[in-house]
Amino acid sequence: MTQIRVNVATLVNASKIRREMRDGREVIVVPSATLPDDVVMHGKGNGSHQGGIMYPAEEIEKAYKALEGAPAPLGHPVVNGKFVLARSPEGLARSYVGAHNENVRRENGRVFLDKAIDVQVANQSQGGRELLERIEQEQPIHTSTCVLANLEAAPAGKEYSFIARDMFLEHDAILLNEAGAANPDDGVGIFVNAAGDEIEVVNCTLADDIDRDLGWSVESMLRAIERKERLSLIERIKSFISGIVQGDPTPETTKGAALNASEDDMDKAQFDALSGEVKTLSETVASIPETIANAVSTALKPFTDAQAARDAADKAKADAEHAALVNEAVEAGVLEEAVAKETPAIVLNALLEKAKQPTTAFRVNSAFKPSGEKPDYKLPEGD
């Protein structure tokens, strides 16, 4: 069988990138996907495998778990113009930016995995800082899976020429400025395997990424327009507030127009337009505190409503318990009804508890003799 290395490139969905804290360190998680079941991919340029390679589902099933914990280097590491393993010391020294692959799983006929990027480590290298900046600006990011495989000739009549067998997924790289091979122009390169043999490297891109690239471009354009409009409004508000602080509530745009044209040069429509802009901006600034207060109130309303409901339920329960104690105290003859209603529940409980205790009978002195018997004492002798 022929040995080959294939770099399979895919596009990351930037909207799915998230940030989280792990053991006190900020981590950026970049979800990605690769290798659909039974996918057929073709190399670019002058590679000898232009007929296409099919990656069977059963081979992917046997191989995909190797990506768990594998490096997520910034680009496929290259030494002296030749690809090296990302797990090797040379590969780590050249391409490690604090990222690794995790949460590797196979769902709905495709391999999914996350790239966890330690922000503190990434900031220690130029490439890592560039990666963080690309993520911050929501610019396109590709990933590329390094697949080492043996090629088996496909049966006659197939739309592909080879079948990938005995695959090993060595790493899944993050790509910023390259197509995934040593020479981005023709998409091929050379890799030296463990035995020291040079084998061909072919760069592939999954076909479904074409639509994803187009979709990202449209989304990116819309986000840029939104940011531009938001920035324009922020700058106008800042200018207006600055004018108020300095005693001049006229926006910079209006002042510029006033400096370059007199009232006579401005027709009524232009003057009304400028006046309307000032009024709208003034109303916007004036409504900011109220807007914030309303937003906070709306956010807290579910909690305040729940607390109010609990308070009402507690009060109803307490009132019912007090009414029962009042009835019991009146029936026991402890208090008059009017007095009982004004008496706190804790006092009513104490009075009722005492009323329930048995009354102690009067004890007769044992020295007392019933009438008819001679008392056992003598009258004092006297005159």
The one-character DSSP state at 376 is S
Token couple for 55: 């990656």
Higher pLDDT, 145 or 213: 145
In this structure, of 16-30, 111-125, 150-164, 221-235, the range with the lowest mean pLDDT score is 221-235
Instruction: Give CA–CA dist 171/167, Å, rounded.
Output: 12
At residue 163, the pLDDT reads: 93
The pLDDT, as a whole number, for residue 96 is: 94
Whether 57 has a pLDDT exceeding 80, the answer reads yes
Q: Is the pLDDT of residue 124 over 60?
A: yes
Rounded to the nearest 10 degrees, what angle do helices 345-355 and 268-331 cross at? 10
Q: What is the mean pLDDT of residues 150-155?
A: 91
Task: Give the 3-state secondary structure of residue 6.
Answer: strand
Q: How far apart are CA 140 and CA 11, in angstroms?
A: 7
> Is 363 or 200 the better-scoring residue by pLDDT?
200
The structure's pTM equals: 0.53
Q: What is the DSSP string of 234-281?
A: HHHHHHHHHHHHTT--S-HHHHHHHHH--TTTS-HHHHHHHHHHHHHH
Residue 207 has pLDDT above 70, yes or no: no
Arithmetic mean of pLDDT, 180-193: 46
Q: What is the DSSP letter of 186?
A: T
Q: Residue 262's pLDDT is what?
A: 46
**What token pair was written down for 65?**
């778990």
Contact status, residue 173 vs residue 86, Cβ threshold 8 Å: yes
**What percent of the chain shows pLDDT beyond 90?**
28
> What are the residues whose beta carbons fall under 8 Å from the beta carbon of 273, sequence distance 6 or more?
none
* Whole-Å CA distances, 299 to 296, 303, 304, 308, 311: 5, 8, 10, 16, 20
Tokens 């091929």 correspond to: 188
pLDDT of res. 178:
61
Rounded to whole angstroms, the Cα distance separating 160 from 165 reads: 14
User: Residue 89 and residue 73: Cα distance in Å, rounded?
Assistant: 12
Using 50, 70 and 90 to split pLDDT, how confident is the model at 288? low
Mean pLDDT, rounded, for 321-341: 85
> Where do we find the tokens 């602080």?
245
- Distances from the Cα of 190 to the Cα of 67, 99, 177, 181, 268, angstroms: 22, 25, 19, 9, 73
Average pLDDT of the residues of the chain: 76
Q: Among candidates 61, 342, 4, which has minimal Cα distance to 204?
A: 4
pLDDT at 115 > cutoff 80: yes
